[in-house]
Amino acid sequence: MRYIIYARKSSEGEDRQVQSIDDQINFLKKLAKEQNLEIVEIFSESKSAKKPGRPVFEEMLSFIQSKKATGILCWKLDRLSRNPKDNGDIQWFLQERIIEKIVTSDRNYLPEDNALVSAVEMGMANQYIRDLSKNVKRGIKSKLEKGVWPNYAPIGYLNRNKKIVVDKEKAKYIEKGFRLYSKGNISIEELTDLLFKEGFRSKAGNKYHKSKVDEILKKPFYYGVMLFNNEYYSGNHEPIISKELFDKVQVVLQGKNRSKRQKHFFAFRGLLKCEKCGCSLTATTKKGYNYYYCTNGKGNCEEHKRYLREEEIEKILADCLDKLEFNSEFVEIIYQSAKEKKDLDKTYTQDVLNTLKNRLNLVATKQERLLEGYCSKIISKDVYAQKIKDFQKEEADLKTQIKKIENKNLDETITLERKKKIFLKACYAKKEFLQAKKEKQTKTLQNLLWNVSIQNQELAKVSFKPEFQVIANEPNKHDFCKLR
Ligand SMILES: [Zn+2]
pLDDT (tens digit per residue) in 75-124: 877 788 777 677 778 877 877 888 888 888 877 777 776 655 555 554 55
Report which of residues 214 and 367 the model is more confident about.
Answer: 214
**CA atoms of 294 and 275, how far apart (whole Å):** 9
> What CATH number labels 146-261?
3.90.1750.20
Q: Is the pLDDT of residue 61 over 50?
A: yes
DSSP-derived 3-state class of residue 31: helix
- What is the CA(271)–ligand 1 centre distance, in A? 14
- What is the CA(298)–ligand 1 centre distance, in A? 8
- What is the CA(278)–ligand 1 centre distance, in A? 6
Distances (CA, A) of 400 to 324, 357, 404, 407: 43, 11, 6, 10
- What is the CA(462)–ligand 1 centre distance, in A? 16
- What is the CA(270)–ligand 1 centre distance, in A? 14
* pLDDT class of 193 with cuts at 50, 70, 90: very high
- What is the CA(309)–ligand 1 centre distance, in A? 16
**CA atoms of 172 and 177, how far apart (whole Å):** 8
DSSP-derived 3-state class of residue 60: helix
Q: Is the pLDDT of residue 203 over 80?
A: yes
Angle subtended at Cα 232 by Cα 226 and Cα 234, rounded to the nearest 5 degrees: 55
Distances (CA, A) of 214 to 62, 110, 221, 365, 440: 64, 58, 14, 57, 11
- What is the CA(458)–ligand 1 centre distance, in A? 13
- What is the CA(303)–ligand 1 centre distance, in A? 5
Residues with CB under 5 A from ligand 1 (ion): 274, 276-277, 279, 294, 301, 303
- What is the CA(294)–ligand 1 centre distance, in A? 5
Q: β-strands 108-109, 101-103: how paired?
A: antiparallel
- What is the CA(370)–ligand 1 centre distance, in A? 83
DSSP 8-state symbol, 280: B
Contact criterion met (CB below 8 Å) for 7 and 43: yes
Alpha helices in 66-205 (DSSP H): 84-95, 114-121, 125-145, 168-182, 188-197
Q: What are phi and psi of 324, to 5 degrees?
A: -95, -5
- Most distant pair of Cα atoms in the chain: their distance: 102
* Residue range 121-148: mean pLDDT, rounded: 67
Choose the most confident range, by mean pLDDT, from 5-19, 390-404, 470-484.
Answer: 390-404
- What is the CA(324)–ligand 1 centre distance, in A? 28
pLDDT (tens digit per residue) in 141-185: 888 888 899 888 999 999 988 889 999 999 999 999 999 999 888
Computed over its alpha carbons, how large is the radius of gyration of the chain?
A: 31
- What is the CA(470)–ligand 1 centre distance, in A? 29
Q: Is the pLDDT of residue 478 over 70?
A: no
Domain parsing of the chain, residue ranges: 2-132, 146-261, 272-317, 328-483
- What is the CA(437)–ligand 1 centre distance, in A? 28
DSSP-derived 3-state class of residue 416: helix
- What is the CA(282)–ligand 1 centre distance, in A? 11
DSSP-derived 3-state class of residue 203: coil
Four-CA torsion 298, 302, 307, 313, nearest 10 degrees: -80
- What is the CA(306)–ligand 1 centre distance, in A? 9
**CA atoms of 442 and 263, how far apart (whole Å):** 16
Report which of residues 11 and 231 the model is more confident about.
Answer: 231
Residue 2's region, left for phi above 0, alpha for psi from -120 to 50, else beta, is beta
User: Which residues fall within 8 angstroms of residue 483, CB to CB, at 6 or more apart?
Assistant: 330, 334, 474, 477
Angle subtended at Cα 118 by Cα 115 and Cα 124, rounded to the nearest 5 degrees: 95
- What is the CA(304)–ligand 1 centre distance, in A? 6
* Residue range 421-441: mean pLDDT, rounded: 82
Amino acid identity, position 183: K
User: Which residues fall within 8 angstroms of residue 228, CB to CB, at 6 or more apart?
Assistant: 140, 144, 150, 151
Three-state SS annotation for 340-391: HHHHHHHHHHHHHHHHHHHHHHHHHHHHHHHHHHHHCCCCCHHHHHHHHHHH
- What is the CA(455)–ligand 1 centre distance, in A? 8
Q: What's the CATH number of domain 2-132, 3.40.30.10, 3.40.50.2000, 3.10.450.50, 3.40.50.1390? A: 3.40.50.1390
- What is the CA(444)–ligand 1 centre distance, in A? 25
Contact criterion met (CB below 8 Å) for 119 and 90: no
Contact criterion met (CB below 8 Å) for 188 and 181: yes
- What is the CA(14)–ligand 1 centre distance, in A? 59
Q: Is the dihedral of CA 308, 314, 320, 322 positive or negative?
A: negative
- What is the CA(280)–ligand 1 centre distance, in A? 8
* Residue range 443-469: mean pLDDT, rounded: 86
Cross-strand pairs, 4 = 41, 72
pLDDT of amino acid 12 = 63
Average predicted confidence (pLDDT) for the chain: 82
Give the number of other CB atoms < 10 A from CB of residue 13.
Answer: 9
- What is the CA(53)–ligand 1 centre distance, in A? 67
Contact criterion met (CB below 8 Å) for 446 and 295: no
**CA atoms of 311 and 324, how far apart (whole Å):** 21
